[in-house]
Amino acid sequence: MVVGRFAPSPSGRMHLGNVFSALLAWLSVRSAGGKMILRIEDLDPDRCRPEYAAQLRRDLEWLGLDWDEEQTPQSQRTEAYAEAFARLDTYPCYCSRNELHAASAPHASDGAVIYSGTCRDLTAAERAAKTRRPAWRVRVPDEEVSFVDGLQGEVRENLARECGDFILRRSDGVYAYQLAVVVDDALSGVSEIVRGHDILSSTPRQIYLQRLLGFETPEYAHIPLLEDAQGRRLAKRDGDTDLTALAKRFSREEILGMLACSAGLLDENRSATMEELIDTFDWEKVRTEDMRLPEDVF
């Protein structure tokens, strides 16, 4: 059975871009008669708030995006992450943010700093002399990780060259998204991950962790980010694509229809019910680029 999930971070209101990822994840699972899991990714105590999580659930329910199971929120699953963390080859890293972002540091294509390995081979005495609380990184080999994405085709990354040893636990003790997501997906039997293209660059790291931990790799489909009719990426600052604002101007069926049309699932921008979209869903129809909202949304 297909097991899919939607894993939002409750760090703000849902905007149409989040709804779009959720809808495609849902349609894929529901059209296959599978099981849908909701997981609130509230790892970061500085950014996440319970009221956003409550609003997220209400928004999903209003849209008709239901779930069969809700996994325990990430903030309450520290033990599972600690257990996985203990099985991995990690080391403490004492570099400050400024040291990591030094002007000369090489950057990956997504703008992230490629870790140079400064703390990789410190001796016990060198570690003992440090006063800063360390973050913990996992060692990565100079090898390519590759996988075939349902929409993007073959993706390859050499973690050592394009990312470097990456953080699994922050200096404040919070486990990193990369580790939590891998543990949660595996322990809940997720077989299919449909999510935004903005997370594609994390996937090779997640697959690497799955292999180290002996977990199966699910199927992936990274969907292009939704853009406005002029081709600009939607952002949270666009209050007009906040679901609450949209719900005042459009019915649920109109919102579902405009998203389905943007994805290539409907030929024209018209109302559609969830049942119709489930019955006619087909990955072959989903566009691989240029997912744009119709003009009249704005």
Binding site for ligand GLU (CB under 6 A): 7-9, 41, 181, 195, 199
Place of tokens 């779930």: 67
User: Which CB sits closer to ligand GLU, 30 or 205?
Assistant: 205
Q: How far apart are CA 224 and CA 195, in angstroms?
A: 9
User: At 251, which amino acid appears?
Assistant: S
Write down the least CB distance from residue 59 to ligand GLU, Å: 14
Taking the least distance from each CB to ligand GLU, the nearer of 35 and 195 is: 195
How near is the Cβ of 249 to ligand GLU at its closest, in Å? 25
Nearer to ligand GLU, 80 or 181 (CB): 181
- CA torsion angle 236 248 227 221 (round to 10): 90
- Cβ-based nearer residue to ligand GLU, 80 or 261: 80
Least spacing, CB of residue 199 vs ligand GLU, in Å: 5
- Which residues are bridge partners to 18 per DSSP? none
Alpha carbons 278 and 269: distance in angstroms, whole number: 17
Q: Where are the alpha helices (DSSP H) in the chain?
A: 16-31, 50-63, 78-86, 97-100, 124-128, 159-162, 177-187, 203-213, 243-249, 252-263, 274-280
Which is nearer to ligand GLU, 162 or 192 (by Cβ)? 192
The one-letter code for the residue type at 201 is S
Tell me the closest approach of the beta carbon of residue 41 to ligand GLU, in angstroms: 4
Q: Which is nearer to ligand GLU, 19 or 181 (CB)?
A: 181
202 Cβ neighbours under 8 A, 6+ residues apart: 177, 178
Distance of closest approach, residue 132 Cβ to ligand GLU, in angstroms: 28
- Smallest distance, Å, CB 193 to ligand GLU? 6
